[in-house]
Each structure stands twice: as structure tokens, then as C-alpha cells.
Amino acid sequence: MKVEEIRGLSTEELAKQEEAARKELFELRFKLATRQLVNHRQIREVKKTIARLSTILRERELGIR
């Protein structure tokens, strides 16, 4: 998900997206531990998505942009 797409979402939608991404990260880590994860890069991408979502949420919280 690109930053422009994220900025277009409402605050409630951002919170839902962040929660879903955190759940996905948990599931990916579980698959990694049980050796069922095929693509290890997925973890990195989901972590970046969480960081983007958190950053935009924090900007809105502080009133930036």
C-alpha cells in the first residue's frame, strides 16, 4: 500500500488496516516458527506497512498535514 493511498483513508479505516496488518504479522511469524512460511520477505513488507500506517495515524493525532 502506497502512502498516497493510505492518506486517502479515514482515521477509522487506518486503525482497522493497522489492526489487520498486525494480525497478519502474527500469523506470518507463527508460520515462520512452524516452518510453513514460503516467502520470508512478506514479514518485512508487512512490518513496513504497519510503520506507514502508524506514522500517518500519529501525524493526524498531532495535527500535522
- What percentage of the chain reaches a pLDDT higher than 70? 98
Mean local confidence (pLDDT), 27-31: 97
Contacts of the segment 55-64: beta carbons below 8 A, 24+ positions apart: 56/3, 56/6, 56/7, 56/14, 57/11, 57/14, 57/15, 57/18, 60/11, 60/14
Which residue ranges make up each domain of the chain? 3-62
Q: Decide if pLDDT at 1 tops 80.
A: no
Which CATH number is 3-62's, of 3.30.450.40, 3.60.15.10, 1.10.287.310, 3.40.1710.10?
A: 1.10.287.310
